[in-house]
Amino acid sequence: MASDSSSLPSSICFLLSILVFSTMLVAYAGNFYQDFDITWGNGRAKILDNGRLLTLSLDKASGSGFQSKNEFLFGKIDVQLKLVPGNSAGTVTAYYLSSKGSTWDEIDFEFLGNLSGDPYILHTNVFSQGRGNREQQFYLWFDPTANFHTYSVLWNPQNIIFYVDGTPIREFKNLESTGVPFPKSQAMRIYSSLWNADDWATRGGLVKTDWSQAPFTASYRNFNADGCVWAAGRSSCTSGNSWFSQQLDSVGQARLRWVQKNYMIYNYCTDTKRFPQGLPKECSANA
C-alpha cells in the first residue's frame, strides 16, 4: 500500500520527489569515476560501489594514487577519509592540491601512520611559488581509522583554511602586502596517494613498516568540490560564491585556537632553532 503513490496525498508525493532528487545530487557530487583518474599502483587503487567509494592500498611492491580530472583556481574542497587501521606505522596517506612547474603552489594534508593505539600525526604545509617549509603538525581528537571524517580546504584570495570535520585547524592568510607570496594565480589539481615512508614518517623513522600487515588500505568517499574549475585559460567562476570571500569569524577563530592549544604538536612559526635568522615573515600574522 505504501508503494502505491496514487493513494498518497500530493504533498507527500512532492516531498518524496524532493528526497529522490536530492539523493541524486548527493550521488552526483560523490562520483569518483567522474571526478578522478587513478594514476598509479597497478590495480591497487580501486573505485567501488558505483563510484561512491575509492580505496588506495599499499604493499611491499607498491603504493597507489589518484588525481582529479579538473584543475581549480580557488575552491572549497571536501573529502571524507578513513585511514589505514591497526599497525599503520611507516605509511603515509597524502591528500593535497598542487600546481605544476618549478615555482609551484601546494596545500598539503599528510597523515603519518603509527603503531596500533598510537596517534596518527596530521602533517600540513603550504607552498607558494616553490617555497614550503611551513609545516604544522597535529594530533586528532578522534581515531581517524575507526570512521570516515571530513578533511577540507577553503582556498580563496583572502586565505587558505584547513578544516577537520568543519573545525578550522590552520589558517594561512594572504599577506602579499608584506611581501609573502600567496597562491592565487596557478591552478591546482587534487592528488592523493598512499605510500611507504618508513625512513621518516613514524617517530622520525624509528618505527618501520610491518609488511606482515600488508596490504594497507585507506578509503575515500563524499568528495565535493565547490570550486572554480580552470580550463583553457579560463575560470568557471563568476561571482557570488559564498566561500569566495569566506574568512574565520570569531567562533571559527576560537575553534582554531582550541585546536592549536590542545592538538598542535609542531609549528614552524615557533621553531626559532630552525630559523636562527628570524622566523618567516608570515609568522607574526599566522602564529
Ligand X SMILES: *[C@@H]1O[C@H](CO)[C@@H](O)[C@H](O)[C@H]1NC(C)=O
The set of catalytic residues is: 106, 110
Sign of CA dihedral 128, 134, 140, 145: positive
| Near ligand X by CB under 6 A: residue from 87, 99, 114, 174 | 114
208 binds ligand X (CB under 6 A): no
- Name the grid cell of 90: 611507516
Place of cell 581517524: 144
* Binding residues among 163-192 for ligand X as defined by CB under 6 A: none
| Near ligand X by CB under 6 A: residue from 58, 107, 112, 164 | 112
| Near ligand X by CB under 6 A: residue from 202, 209, 217, 286 | 202
Rounded to whole angstroms, the Cα distance separating 182 from 174 reads: 6
203 binds ligand X (CB under 6 A): yes
* Region near ligand X per CB under 6 A, out of 116-124, 143-151, 215-223, 241-249: 116-124
Looking at the Cβ atoms of 36 and 120, the one nearer to ligand X is 120
100 binds ligand X (CB under 6 A): no
| Near ligand X by CB under 6 A: residue from 8, 59, 119, 150 | 119
In the chain, the DSSP E strands lie at 36-40, 46-48, 53-58, 64-82, 91-98, 106-112, 121-127, 136-138, 149-155, 159-164, 167-173, 188-196, 216-231, 234-235, 264-267
Report the nearest approach of ligand X to the CB of residue 279 (Å). 23
Place of cell 596557478: 186
Rounded to whole angstroms, the Cα distance separating 236 from 246 reads: 19
Helices (H), the chain: 10-29, 32-35, 250-262
Report the nearest approach of ligand X to the CB of residue 111 (Å). 9
Looking at the Cβ atoms of 206 and 232, the one nearer to ligand X is 206
Report the nearest approach of ligand X to the CB of residue 45 (Å). 23
How many amino acids of this chain bind ligand X (CB under 6 A)? 8
Non-local (6+) Cβ contacts of 113 within 8 A are: 83, 84, 87, 88, 89, 90, 91, 92, 93, 120, 201, 202, 216
| Near ligand X by CB under 6 A: residue from 53, 54, 58, 121 | 121
Asked if 81 and 231 count as a contact pair (C-beta separation under 8 A), the reply is no
286 binds ligand X (CB under 6 A): no
Report the nearest approach of ligand X to the CB of residue 221 (Å). 24
Name the residue among 124, 131, 208, 214 with its Cα closest to residue 160. 124
Looking at the Cβ atoms of 203 and 257, the one nearer to ligand X is 203
118 binds ligand X (CB under 6 A): yes
Q: What residues make contact with ligand X under the rule CB under 6 A?
A: 112, 114, 118-119, 121, 201-203
